[in-house]
């Protein structure tokens, strides 16, 4: 992109709420059932069927509003958003228009150059439409299981200035909704969906350029790629003397291009009017206070605590807070440490980020489903920190700890794997090995210093890996210099 242009980006994020039943009826929200099974006269739009609001939808909206610093409207109403589409049986969608339940909030994102606040214009409740299925060898099919499933739409201010910022913003929303327990954040199942409004303008200009809306962004990377492509397309169009047309674009992930879908609708095209079959939503201060007390520590605050209080590097803290249960597992392991200091916390972090994450990835499970007690990780770290075992021994016993759920200390004791830290014993062994390898000693002293690793390996071999590597290194250096 030419350096004299600035992108202006706003995101509309739809999150599917983790309620057991739909927004306005008692049908289940279970994913993966046979087409059109989770339906009833209300969500199918049969004449005379009346909607009833699910209280949990309001509760989840309040949670999300509080977590993003929004103002909570004490009274709001639902509206009908009218449009025709095959997967919208009523011919309208129940949503909120002029008075959303949450407004004027902010989301903080952690960027390489520092923290940035991105404004939230509004968060409102609405129901989902059904699903049109086009990728079959027969006519288009319609599945209405999703019709009436509760959503929150989170609309950002046009504060985002790059594709990378948009990616980080979306990741932060995903973390927040998962920590709150209001959404599972699964893009593949459509639980979290994103549309991007994109325009470009000359740097320093106050007026926004003509924007396009890009849809079909079904992964975090596709959000970043689509926004990047659309920015480049608009700049190239303006530079060649053309004009940007306000329209809805579709992201084609197979060719990495945006393609025109339709001209962009305006609010009056939907003929919004108040929903006559639903009463208004009243939210008391007491209700807000009760919900506020249930809020967990949010991911960015937790990340900062791990950095400030536990001395973890920014990278480690970011990985550990990405999924709530992984952070919980790490903290539980830390709580079982015998010696609590930054060095031990970092060792726990290393084990969780390598061995534990590797197993979670292989088994396709979360840390909440991991059966290995966190205190066993703490035991391994305690053994390492006290130099009772070497890292080699720790990795050797881990599969047995994992398979049999046996205490690492018990395994080390039974198998006599405790590290040898007796300097005199190690010195005697080192001298013996150097005497047996006098040729290599001469080569080392002549400048072939890469033989040092050979001598270390010989000592470890003789002790079956139990010699303290730190002491072995010190003694070897001293003896080879002599």
**Span 164-177, pLDDT tens digits:** 999 999 999 999 99
Same domain, 307 and 393: yes
Q: Quick one: what percent of the chain has pLDDT higher than 90?
A: 71
Same domain, 390 and 442: no
pLDDT at 58: 98
Same domain, 74 and 198: yes
> What average pLDDT does range 58-68 have in this prediction?
98
Q: How many distinct structural domains can be found in the chain?
A: 3
Same domain, 196 and 312: no
User: pLDDT tens digits, residue range 126-135?
Assistant: 999 999 887 7
Same domain, 284 and 336: no
Calpha distance 198→12 (Å, rounded): 11
Alpha helices by DSSP H, listed for 336-407, are 342-351, 357-363, 374-385, 391-404
pLDDT at 477: 85
Phi first, then psi: give them for residue 42, nearest 5 degrees: -70, -55
46 by Cβ neighbours in 10 Å (0-12 / 13-18 / 19+) ranks as exposed
Among the candidates 275, 292, 309, a domain finishes at 292
> What average pLDDT does range 372-390 have in this prediction?
92
pLDDT at 136: 67
> What average pLDDT does range 427-443 have in this prediction?
84
Same domain, 120 and 267: yes
Same domain, 269 and 329: no
User: pLDDT tens digits, residue range 411-431?
Assistant: 988 887 776 776 777 788 888
> What average pLDDT does range 373-387 have in this prediction?
93
Residue showing tokens 């087409």:
35
pLDDT of 469 > 80? The answer is no
E-state strands within 176-246: 192-202, 212-217
Cβ atoms 468, 419 nearer than 8 A: yes
pLDDT of 2 > 80? The answer is no
pLDDT of 78 > 80? The answer is yes
Which range is least confidently modeled, 14-28, 56-70, 73-87, 207-221?
Answer: 207-221
Q: How many CA atoms within 13 Å lie on the side-chain side of 434?
A: 21
Q: Choose among 38, 37, 260: nearest CA to 29.
A: 38
Q: What is the DSSP letter of 112?
A: T
pLDDT of 447 > 60? The answer is yes
Residue showing tokens 């002029």:
98
Cβ atoms 51, 80 nearer than 8 A: no
Q: Can you read off the two tokens belonging to residue 396?
A: 């050797």
The angle that helices 324-335 and 314-322 make with each other, rounded to 10 degrees, is: 120
Across all residues in the chain, what is the average pLDDT? 91
> What average pLDDT does range 351-370 have in this prediction?
96
> What average pLDDT does range 387-414 have in this prediction?
89
Q: What is the DSSP letter of 183?
A: -
pLDDT at 264: 61
Centre a 10 Å sphere on the Cβ of residue 183 and count the other Cβ atoms it contains. Answer: 22
Q: Choose among 26, 114, 14, 104: nearest CA to 65.
A: 104
SS3 107: strand
pLDDT at 365: 95
How far is Cα of residue 233 from the mean position of the Cα atoms in its chain?
Answer: 29
> What average pLDDT does range 159-163 have in this prediction?
95
Same domain, 159 and 275: yes
Same domain, 273 and 305: no
Centre a 10 Å sphere on the Cβ of residue 246 and count the other Cβ atoms it contains. Answer: 14
Q: What is the C-alpha radius of gyration for the chain, rounded to an integer number of angstroms?
A: 30
Same domain, 108 and 218: yes
Same domain, 238 and 375: no
Calpha distance 337→430 (Å, rounded): 34
Which helix H or strand E contains 456, and what residues bound it? helix 452-462
> What average pLDDT does range 252-266 have in this prediction?
82
Which range is least confidently modeled, 176-180, 281-285, 299-303, 443-447?
Answer: 443-447
Q: Which domain holds residue 391?
A: 299-415
pLDDT at 1: 53
Q: What is the CATH number of the domain that holds 466?
A: 1.10.10.410
Among the candidates 241, 270, 292, a domain finishes at 292
Among the candidates 292, 314, 338, a domain finishes at 292
Same domain, 303 and 434: no
Calpha distance 469→392 (Å, rounded): 10
Calpha distance 181→191 (Å, rounded): 13
């Amino acid at each position: 992109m030419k350096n004299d242009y600035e992108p202006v980006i706003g995101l509309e994020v739809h999150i599917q709420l983790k309620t057991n039943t739909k927004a306005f009826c008692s049908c289940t929200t279970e994913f993966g059932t046979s087409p059109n099974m989770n339906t009833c006269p209300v969500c199918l739009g049969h004449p005379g069927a009346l909607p009833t609001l699910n209280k949990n939808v309001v509760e989840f909206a309040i949670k999300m509003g509080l977590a993003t610093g929004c103002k909570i409207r004490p009274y709001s109403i639902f509206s009908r958003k009218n449009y025709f589409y095959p997967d919208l049986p009523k011919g309208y969608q129940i949503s909120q228009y002029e008075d959303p339940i949450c407004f004027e909030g902010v989301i903080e994102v952690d960027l390489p150059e520092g923290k940035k606040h991105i404004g939230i214009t509004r968060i409102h409740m609405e129901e989902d439409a059904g699903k049109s299925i086009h990728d079959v060898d027969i006519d288009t099919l319609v599945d209405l299981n999703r019709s009436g499933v509760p959503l929150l739409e989170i609309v950002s201010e046009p504060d985002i200035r790059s594709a990378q910022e948009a990616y980080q913003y979306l990741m932060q929303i995903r973390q927040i909704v998962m920590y709150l327990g209001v959404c599972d954040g699964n893009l593949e199942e459509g639980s979290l969906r994103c549309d991007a409004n994109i325009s470009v303008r000359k740097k320093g200009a106050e007026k926004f350029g003509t924007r396009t809306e890009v849809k079909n962004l079904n992964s975090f990377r596709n959000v970043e790629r689509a926004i990047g492509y659309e920015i480049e397309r608009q700049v190239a169009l303006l530079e060649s003397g053309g004009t940007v047309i306000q329209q809805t674009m579709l992201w084609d992930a197979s060719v990495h291009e945006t393609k025109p879908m339709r001209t962009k609708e305006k609010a009056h095209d939907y003929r919004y009017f108040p929903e006559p079959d639903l009463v208004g939503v009243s939210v008391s201060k007491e209700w807000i206070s009760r919900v506020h007390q249930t809020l967990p520590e949010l991911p960015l605050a937790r990340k900062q605590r791990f950095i400030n209080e536990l001395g973890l590097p920014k990278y480690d803290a970011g990985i550990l807070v990405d999924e709530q249960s992984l952070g919980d597992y790490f903290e539980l392991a830390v709580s079982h440490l015998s010696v609590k200091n930054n060095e031990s916390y970092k060792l726990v972090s290393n084990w969780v980020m390598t061995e534990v994450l590797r197993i979670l990835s292989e088994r396709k499970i979360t840390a909440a489903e991991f059966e290995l007690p966190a205190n066993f990780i703490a035991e391994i770290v305690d053994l390492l920190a006290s130099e009772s075992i070497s890292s080699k021994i720790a990795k050797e016993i881990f599969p047995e700890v994992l398979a049999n759920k046996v205490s690492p200390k018990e395994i080390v004791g039974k198998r006599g794997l405790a590290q040898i830290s007796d300097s005199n014993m190690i010195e005697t062994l080192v001298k013996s090995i150097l005497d047996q390898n006098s040729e290599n000693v001469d080569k080392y002293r002549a400048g072939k210093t890469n033989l040092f690793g050979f001598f270390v390996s010989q000592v470890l071999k003789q002790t079956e890996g139990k010699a303290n590597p730190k002491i072995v290194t010190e003694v070897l250096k001293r003896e080879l210099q002599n």
